[in-house]
Structure 1
Amino acid sequence: MKLHKQTKLTAQLTIVGEEKPQKQTFANVIENPEGTAIMALGEVMASFDPENTSVASMIETVEFEHTN
């Protein structure tokens, strides 16, 4: 049996003057979030410093448990 265990979202934000993107992870997200909602979360994170930050990408990580 395949059971949904957990969904995580990671926002990768590009910050002016920094070489590597900054990452922020959100655990225990609802199962099967809409793509538009995922991107909206990234935009909210970038809006805290809109002149220096933009969304590089959003990563959705889903864990399943397989049992007999």
Structure 2
Amino acid sequence: MKLHKQTKLTAQLAIVGEEKPQKQTFANVIENPDGATVMALGDILASFDPDNSSVASMIETVEFEHTN
């Protein structure tokens, strides 16, 4: 049996003057979040410093548990 275990979202923000993106992870997100809603979360995070950051990408990580 395949059971949904957990969904995580990771926001990668491009920061002016930094080579690597800044990452922020959110655990225990609802199963199958809407893509537009996921991107809106990234936009909210970038809005805290709009002059220096923008959304590079959002990563959705889903874990399943397989049992007999």
TM-score tier (shorter): over 0.9
Which residue of the partner structure matches residue 61 of structure 1? Answer: 61
Q: Give TM-score, length-normalised by structure 1.
A: 0.99
- Whether 2:45 is the aligned partner of 1:42: answer no
Across the two proteins, how many residue pairs are aligned to each other?
68
The 5-angstrom pairing of residues 1-68 of structure 1 reads: 1-68=1-68
Long gaps (5+) in structure 1? none
TM-score normalised by length of structure 2: 0.99
Give the fraction of aligned pairs with identical amino acids, expressed as a percent: 85
Unaligned 5+ residue runs, structure 2? none
For 2:19 and 2:36, the matched residues in 1 are separated by 27
Cα RMSD over matched residues?
0.2
Work out the CA distance in 2 between the residues paired with 1:19 and 1:67.
42
Note the alpha carbon deviations across 1:10-35, whole angstroms, 9 max, x for none.
00000000010000000000000000
